[in-house]
């Protein structure tokens, strides 16, 4: 994750998205209840001490409200979100074939695109998150999938 973000509120929201991707990954990998994972993250990983580091598994200064909203919303809407993603993903890359972290990232981004935050902001944020987790073509895939979801939403929204 880049440390050169312009403002503390933006950084706080970006960090919430990083933590949400990690939490969604944990929910899928361990079959954990999202509520329990959220509480575990709040208690043990969303540290506010000055010396907390990413290397220690901490996500200091994350916006807790946004973190909880993404984790709960993405898990509650997972069937709907997954269906939308399946419609966009190439036939030779089904959901099950995607890296688990990439699946979590796409679910979080897709959930947020359903809200009121401008699509460009969401896409840019998840591109930053993707670059923090991946060094290959995954960020381009994230960009393409989330952009397509945003275009579909825009074309179905009332004018």
Radius of gyration of the chain (CA): 15
Domains of the chain: 8-153 (1.10.940.10)
Nearest to 103 by CA among 86, 122, 116: 86
pTM: 0.84
Q: What is the pLDDT along the chain (159 residues), one digit of tens a residue?
A: 434 334 455 688 998 999 999 999 999 998 888 888 888 877 766 665 555 544 445 566 778 899 999 999 999 999 999 999 999 998 888 899 999 999 999 999 999 999 999 999 999 999 999 999 999 999 999 999 999 999 999 888 665
Q: Residue 57, by phi and psi: left (phi above 0), alpha (psi -120 to 50) or beta?
A: left
The distance of Cα 48 from the centroid of its chain, to the nearest Å, equals: 21
């Amino acid at each position: 994750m880049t440390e050169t973000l312009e403002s503390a509120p933006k950084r706080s929201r970006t960090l919430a998205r990083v933590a949400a991707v990690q939490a969604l990954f944990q929910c899928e990998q361990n079959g954990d209840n999202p509520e329990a994972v959220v509480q575990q993250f709040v208690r043990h990983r969303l540290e506010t001490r000055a010396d907390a580091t990413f290397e220690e598994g901490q996500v200091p200064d994350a916006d807790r409200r946004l973190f909880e909203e993404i984790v709960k919303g993405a898990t509650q809407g997972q069937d709907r979100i997954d269906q939308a993603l399946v419609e966009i993903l190439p036939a030779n890359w089904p959901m099950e074939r995607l890296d688990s972290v990439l699946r979590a990232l796409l679910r979080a981004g897709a959930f947020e695109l359903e809200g009121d935050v401008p699509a460009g902001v969401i896409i840019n944020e998840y591109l930053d998150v993707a670059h923090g987790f991946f060094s290959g073509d995954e960020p381009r895939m994230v960009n393409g999938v989330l952009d397509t979801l945003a275009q579909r939403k825009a074309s179905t929204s009332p004018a």
